[in-house]
Structure 1
Amino acid sequence: MNITKEQIDELNAVVKVAITKEDYQDRVDGILKDYRKSANIPGFRKGHVPMGLIKKQYGKAVLVDEVNKLLQDNLNKYLTEEKLDVLGNPLPKQQDNFDWDKEELSFEFELGLAPSFEVPLETKDPITQYKIIADKEMVDEQVKRIQKQYGKLVNQEEVDKNFEVTGTFKNEAEEIDNKTTLELDKIKSKKAIDSLLGKKVGDTVSLKSKGLFKEDYLLSSVFGISQDKAKDLDIEADFTIEEINKRELATLDQELFDKLFGKDEVKSEDELKEKIKEDSEKQFEQQADQKLLNDITEYFIDNTSFELPTGFLTKWIQMTGEEQLTEQQANEEYEKSEKGLRYQLIEGKIIKENDLQIQLEELKEFAKGFIKSQMAQFGQLNPQEEELENIANRVLSNQDEVKRLSEQLMSQKLLDLYKEKVNLKTKQITYEDFVKEVYG
């Protein structure tokens, strides 16, 4: 077997493979002998079918199959040994009326080659790294939310401001029949509030859906309908009152602090606010980090210039899908995927040049951290190491989970590298202003 490469240009090459009978004949003959032993052909005893008949019936199919296996194995080996960085997979060049009976079989494969480029990590322009702070207003709101959540409901005779009213919404035309609880401090419509004030259990009031709440998303839950249906809904619905309650706020005392954070972890209202601020900013850090990673990714894509073997990649997309695409469809698919491909190449180069690797033990520790945070959400704050180890082993036995966690860990490694190398400028900002600035 002889394999040679013809370089077309920096991004395209053709590999030529010449195969002679000596390369495949022994393998073909061995398979045909096995076929002869088991062949069941009318008129012949099993194992006594003439080899000429076996070759006539199965020879060409076996030859094609074995040659294709040889091609695949040796072509992959050649690409590895020659350290050719290819995009996609080699594409066989079409050969009409191919003669499988020739003494030497010749095949050609088109290659798309990865471009050569540099990615300087010290960016020319500084990239904003947000530090999101929990301001006094946010902390005070969270304290009030905790007090409401852990407070108690006291039954009342008639509706007053800031009460909670449980009842059933009905509108026959829209098929609405849903029991819910209204918090008066979340209602925006003054007319609706005036309609409810002073009402008693058993009373029914008619409320307009449009502009009912300060937050539009609440409408779907109180009516028991989808967000899509609630979006432009403009109706009147009857609300029959079944229960009226006043929520008394929980006292900020040691019993509440211990319930929230464990015994003596927090001992005063000031410490509670500091803890809320600390925990909130830790959560905000994840959002800020994701924003930073996205911005650096976009910067590298926009500022790293290199050519791609567009013609080859378009043809590869056209030929290798589940269904063969038209040229126009392949061009459209390439345009959609080009940006992602560019970043894959950029990211791969950064990972290789900075020797970013993932070891099994650090992946397991990363998985344990993820599991621990999940358990904390359900109140399991101090799981045993043995329990974490067992869960992590189960998680890492699933290849899909291994892939997902590996990608997350590599993103964290890249982010750590970027924080060290990239030209950053820090901007301190409240969460509300961050949302406005980033998401509009």
Structure 2
Amino acid sequence: MNISKEQLDDLNAVITVDINKKDYSDKVDKILKDYRKNANIPGFRKGHVPMGLVKKQYGKAVLVDEVNKLLQDALNKYLTEEKLDVLGNPLPKEKEGFDWDADNYSFEFELGLAPKFEVDLKSKKAITQYKIVASDEMIENQLKTIQKQYGKLISQEAVDKDSLVRGTFTNEAEDIENETTVSLDAIKGKKNIDKFVGAKVGDTLTLKTKGLFNEDKDVMAALKIEEDKAKDLDVEVEFTIAEINKQELADLDQELFDKLYGPGNIKTVTELKERIKEDAEKQFSQQADQQLLNDITEHLLENTKFELPVDFLQKWIRATGEEELTEDQAKDEYEKSEKGLRYQLIEGKIINDNNLQVTFEELKDFAKDLIKRQMAQFGQNAPEDKELEDIAARILSNQDEVKRMSEQLMSQKLLDFYKENAKLKTKEVTFDEFVKEVYK
């Protein structure tokens, strides 16, 4: 057997594999002899079928199968030994007049080669790393939400500006009939609020949907309609009052603190505000980190230039697709996937050049931490070391879980690497400022 490579250019090559009769003949003969021993052919005793008949019936199929096995093994071994970084898989070239009745065979495969390039994280313009802080207003709002959640409802005879009013919105023409609870805080404009104030159970109010609520989402929820309809809906609805309550806020006392965070962990309102701020900023840091990853990804894609073997990749997409594709369809598929392929190559180079591999010990520690966090969420103590090891082992026996955790760990390794090596500038913002700036 002989294997050779013809380098067409930096990104394309052709491998030729020549297979001689002596490479496969012994294996084929052995298999056919085994077939002869076990063949059941009418008119012949088992094991006494003439070899000529066995070869005629099975010879071509066995030959093709064995040559293809030799071919794949030799090709894979060659790619590994030569350390060829290929994109996709080798594509067999069609050969006119190929003859399986010959003794010697020659096969050609097209290769698409990964490009050589360098990655530079030190851009001229620094990438923004957001630090999202909880504003005083956000903390106060969260405090108020907690008080409402743990407070109680007090029945009222008539609606006032602080009331929660349960009732049913109806409009027969628009097929609206929905029971809901309305907070007067959500009602827009003095004119609308005045219609509610003073009303009693059993009263029916006539209201215009346009300009009734401060937010479109409140219109959707109150009338149970889709967003597109809620945005421009301008009709009269009737609201029949079934119940009027007032929310009495829970006291900010030790009883509430203990309900929220366990006995004795929070002792003052100041400590509660600090905890709310801490918890909120932990969540914000995850969003900030994800945005940093997104921004660095875009930076790397824009600033890491290299060519790809486009023709080969489009041909490979056609050859390996689940459905048969035209050239134009393959081109469209390539264009959709090109950005992802480019980033895979960039990320792969960063991982390899900086030895950012995920080890089994890291995976095991990650699984243990995950178990302890999940148990803590349900108020359970972490298990003993032996039990923890056993649970982690069960998780790591699931390949899907291993893949998912490996991706999470690698994402964290890349994030840490970027924070240490990329040119960053820190910008402190509130969550509202972050949303406006990032999502515009």
TM superposition score category, shorter chain reference: over 0.9
Instruction: Kindly state the Cα deviation for residue 249 of structure 1 after the two structures are TM-superposed.
Output: 0.7
Contact 2:213–2:219 (Cα < 8 Å) also in 1: yes
Task: Compute the displacement of 1:160 (Å).
Answer: 1.3
SS of the aligned residue for 2:97 comes to coil
- After superposing the two structures, state which structure 1 stretch, 36-45 or 2-11, moved more: 36-45
Residue 64 of structure 2 corresponds to 64
Please state whether the residue corresponding to 1:214 is helix, strand or coil.
Answer: coil
The CA distance in 2 between the partners of 1:164 and 1:280, in whole Å, is 28
Report the CA distance between 1:71 and its aligned residue: 1.1
2 CA distance for matches of 1:47 and 1:172?
87
1:431 paired to 2:431:
yes
Aligned counterpart, 1:290: 290
Structure 2 match to 1:384: 383
Quick check: 2:132–2:428 contact (8 Å CA) kept in 1? yes
The amino acid across from 2:304 in the alignment is T
Q: Aligned with 1:202: secondary structure?
A: coil
Name the CA distance, whole Å, in 2 between partners of 1:231 and 1:322. Answer: 42
Per the alignment, residue 411 of structure 1 pairs with 411
Question: Equivalences for 1:317-396 in 2 at 5 Å?
Answer: 317-375=317-375, 378-380=377-379, 382-385=381-384, 389=389, 391-396=391-396
Instruction: Confirm or deny: 8 A CA contact 2:115 2:307 kept in the other structure.
Output: yes
Deviates more, 1:278-287 or 1:35-44: 35-44
Deviation at 1:431, TM superposition (A): 1.0
Give the corresponding residue for 2:243: 243
* Cα distance in 1, alignment partners of residues 218 and 52 from structure 2: 80
For 1:394 and 1:160, how far apart are their aligned partners in 2?
58
**What residue is the counterpart of 2:151 in the other structure?**
151
Amino acid in structure 1 at the alignment position of 2:219 = L
Q: Residues 23-422 of structure 1: matches in 2 within 5 Å?
A: 23-188=23-188, 190-227=190-227, 230-375=230-375, 378-380=377-379, 382-385=381-384, 389=389, 391-422=391-422
**Aligned partner of residue 147 in structure 1, secondary structure:** helix
> In structure 2, do the counterparts of structure 1 residues 84 and 155 end up closer, same or farther at CA, with 3 Å as the change threshold?
same
Does structure 1 retain, via aligned residues, the 8 Å contact 2:216–2:227?
Answer: no
Which range moved further: 25-34 or 339-348?
A: 25-34
Distance 2:195 2:82 in 1: 81
Q: TM-score if structure 1 supplies the norm length?
A: 0.93
Matched residue SS, 2:216: coil
CA contact (8 A) 2:139 2:276 kept: yes
The unaligned stretches of length 5 or more in structure 2 are: none
The question of whether the paired residues in 1 share the 8 Å contact of 2:155 and 2:245 is answered with yes
Once residues 254 and 17 of structure 1 are traced to their aligned partners in structure 2, the CA distance between those partners, rounded to angstroms, is: 80
Question: How far off is 1:53 after superposition?
Answer: 2.2
Offset at 1:49? 3.1
For residue 371 of structure 1, report the CA deviation from its aligned partner. 4.5
Q: What secondary structure sits across from 1:217 in the alignment? A: helix
Distance 1:30 1:92 in 2: 28
Distance (whole Å) between structure 2 residues aligned to residue 354 and residue 404 of structure 1: 22
Residues 165-201 of structure 1: CA deviation (Å, up to 9, x unaligned): 1223334444444332222212225444333222222
Q: What displacement does 1:234 show?
A: 4.2
Report the count of equivalent residues: 439
Shift of 1:426: 0.8
What displacement does 1:235 show? 4.0
State the distance in 2 between where 1:391 and 1:245 align: 49
Give the stretch that moved more between structures: 40-49 or 314-323: 40-49
Residue 231 of structure 1 deviates from its aligned partner by 4.9
What is the distance in 2 between the residues matched to 1:374 and 1:68? Answer: 50
Answer yes or no: is 1:14 the counterpart of 2:11: no
Instruction: Mark the CA change 1:365 to 1:302 in structure 2 (over 3 Å): closer, same or farther.
Output: same
Q: CA deviation at 1:116?
A: 0.9
Question: How much does 1:72 deviate?
Answer: 1.0
* Separation of aligned partners in 1, 2:262 and 2:347: 43
SS in 2 for 1:358: coil
Alpha-carbon RMSD: 2.2
The 3 A distance-change label for structure 1 pair 218 and 27 is farther
**What per-residue deviation string (whole Å, max 9, x for no partner) do you get for residues 102-149 of structure 1?**
121000001111111111333332111111111111111111111111
Tell me the TM-score normalised to structure 2 length: 0.93
Q: 3-state SS of the aligned residue for 1:13?
A: strand
| Alignment CA distance shift 1:37-1:424 (3 Å) | same
